[in-house]
Amino acid sequence: MTETYDALSGGDRGIFSSEHQQFRETVRRFVDEELAPHHGEWEDAGVVPREVWKRAGEVGMLCPTIPEEFGGFGADWLYNVVVIEELAKQGITGPGFMVHSEMVAPYILAAGSEELKNSVLPGMATGEIIGALGLTEPGAGSDVKEIRTRAVRNGDDYVINGQKVYISNGQLCDIMVTACKTDPAAGARGVSLIAIDANQPGFKRGRNLEKIGLKAQDTSEIFLEDARAPAWRRLADEGSGFGIMMGKLAQERLTQAVRSICVAEAAIQWTVDYTAERKAFGHTLADFQNTQFVLADLAAETLSARVFTDWCIKRFLAGELTSVEAAKVKLVVTNLHVKVVDQCLQFFGGYGYMTEYPIARAYIDARIVRIAGGAAEVMKQIIGRDLFKGRLSS
């Protein structure tokens, strides 16, 4: 398979060790043999078989950063980056490994009780337990204080009632880290996170939602009707949920950027390969100045965004990536992702509208990136408020 980054940059990125590269070969082989040949079937079905999760767990693709005492490798976050990149290069949108490994497991590892970590994380590493994140509600997205799902203490348990929507891994999940109001009068400070067992009568899965793209990823409505969770399944203290979520947003947004830059690089490479062979008016498309100029612009912008993304990865590994930097990299790279796949698809003509071509599927899947992990407008607000820190009237 073509190494798209080398084709654009001609150089070593300087952040991966030989161990990371060996792991990359394992992941790439798994993607080539176990995921890519079946992805079309899973898109039609709207869900990935559970057995795929278990096979991914066997090769270490799930939650590699979890400490060995909880069943993981205890590896650094670059192992996660390798998984994200290899999935993105081939347009693998299901299974929802990113939510499982990049969001659910880090929440539990950072703020879960020892009992919760011991009961859940080993199974998440093997793929026997699939994780989901239950934050969004029909009337509450980015504005966490509007969450209506209620958790009421009843002895040693919480009784939880409410509704969640757009829940990735919703049809398959065994555990859902859920944002609940434990103190409705306290606004955002009344939000707690509770890891709910999804295999109980009070956890009701709604329909698998029909989406524009990401069709292999099961995305569901969830209804909680007197669902129960012991208090030890709460993450940290009551009312700490908002702070936990804010603390993990930088990682989530950087993850989106890592995926987006890989898709942009892959799309340019597909287009270079196609236009070098496709003929029109007695020439290949690559012979035309317009082709060369458009792709030259996109390649230059993508390389610039790659350098920025890798700089943010280094900052994150050092514990120095700020929320504003994460907002900037997500804004820049996801906007570029959408631009690149749109302009590249144009060179494919009618073929670009056929989903048998990777560029068409990349185009369909691209639109979510300006929404997931915080909408582009939210990123602009974060950046803008930082620019005018202390100088805004409201």
Q: Find the domain containing 147 and state its range.
A: 131-239
Of the residues 126, 145, 180, which one is the last residue of a structural domain? 126
Q: What is the pTM of this model?
A: 0.93
Is residue 98 in some structural domain?
yes
Considering the domain architecture, whether residues 153 and 99 belong to the same structural domain is answered as no
Considering the domain architecture, whether residues 138 and 33 belong to the same structural domain is answered as no
Considering the domain architecture, whether residues 22 and 118 belong to the same structural domain is answered as yes
Considering the domain architecture, whether residues 74 and 169 belong to the same structural domain is answered as no
Is residue 392 in some structural domain?
no
Is residue 207 in some structural domain?
yes
| Rounded distance between C-alpha atoms, residue 147 and residue 86, angstroms | 35
DSSP helix/strand/coil, 76? coil
Is residue 393 in some structural domain?
no
Considering the domain architecture, whether residues 118 and 158 belong to the same structural domain is answered as no
Is residue 394 in some structural domain?
no
Considering the domain architecture, whether residues 54 and 122 belong to the same structural domain is answered as yes
Over residues 252-295, the pLDDT tens digits come to 999 999 999 999 999 999 999 999 999 989 999 999 999 999 99
Number of domains in the chain: 3
Considering the domain architecture, whether residues 64 and 108 belong to the same structural domain is answered as yes
- The answer to whether residue 25 is catalytic is no
Over residues 151-160, the pLDDT tens digits come to 999 999 999 9
Considering the domain architecture, whether residues 276 and 211 belong to the same structural domain is answered as no
CATH number of the domain bearing residue 278: 1.20.140.10
Considering the domain architecture, whether residues 261 and 340 belong to the same structural domain is answered as yes
Q: How confident is the model at residue 11 (pLDDT cuts 50, 70, 90)?
A: low
- Give the bridge partners for 203, in sequence order: 224
Considering the domain architecture, whether residues 210 and 112 belong to the same structural domain is answered as no
Mean pLDDT on 339-345 = 98
| Rounded distance between C-alpha atoms, residue 65 and residue 100, angstroms | 12
Which listed residue (85, 86, 238, 252) is catalytic?
A: 252
| Rounded distance between C-alpha atoms, residue 52 and residue 49, angstroms | 6
In the DSSP assignment, the letter for residue 129 is S
